[in-house]
Amino acid sequence: MKAKNIYFDIRLGGITLNPLIAIINFLMLSFLVIENVIPFWLFVPLFLLGVFILYSIVGNKFRKIQYETDSNLIYEKQTEQARTNLELFNQIRLISLKTNTPLTLSYQKRIFYLEEIIKGIK
């Protein structure tokens, strides 16, 4: 086995297990603070419920805001896909010229946007 593969496996294992270790660590430390107020058998389910609610709220925000932004940035980096789309748009332009169908403003904006991606402006 190569050293690179071992290093990569260690990194992936750490990324996978670190949240679990952090939760267990926080669980133990926070219980030490409130052990006189609430029993352990009640604290663990309440703590886990709170963590799952927090994770779902943060994950929901990430999916709705950050994921969309990341997808848009990835689209702007795909110059070959932009070239393909521009070729398809040019074919649509030829068809519309032959059928005397006017092109819309949004079509022109999309062509301009694709040309910017290809030139590397976006």
pLDDT in tens, 1-59: 688 788 878 887 888 888 888 888 888 888 888 888 888 888 888 888 888 898 888 88
Please check whether residue 74 lies inside any domain of the structure: no
Give yes or no: residues 57 and 84 share one domain.
no
pLDDT in tens, 94-112: 998 889 888 888 888 988 8
Please check whether residue 109 lies inside any domain of the structure: yes
Please check whether residue 55 lies inside any domain of the structure: yes
Please check whether residue 71 lies inside any domain of the structure: no
Give yes or no: residues 57 and 92 share one domain.
no
Give yes or no: residues 8 and 61 share one domain.
yes
Position 58 scores a pLDDT of 84
Reported as a pLDDT band with limits 50, 70 and 90, residue 87 is very high
Please check whether residue 72 lies inside any domain of the structure: no
Position 63 scores a pLDDT of 77
Give yes or no: residues 7 and 57 share one domain.
yes
pLDDT in tens, 50-85: 888 988 888 888 877 877 777 777 877 888 888 999
Please check whether residue 70 lies inside any domain of the structure: no
Reported as a pLDDT band with limits 50, 70 and 90, residue 122 is low
> 42 is in which domain, residue-wise?
3-65
DSSP letters, 58-104, are HHHHIIIIIHHHHHHHHHHH-HHHHHHHHHHHHHHHHHHHHTTPPPP
Please check whether residue 73 lies inside any domain of the structure: no
What pTM was computed for the model? 0.45
Q: Backbone dihedral region of 100: left (phi > 0), alpha (psi from -120 to 50 degrees) or beta?
A: left
Domain count, the chain: 2
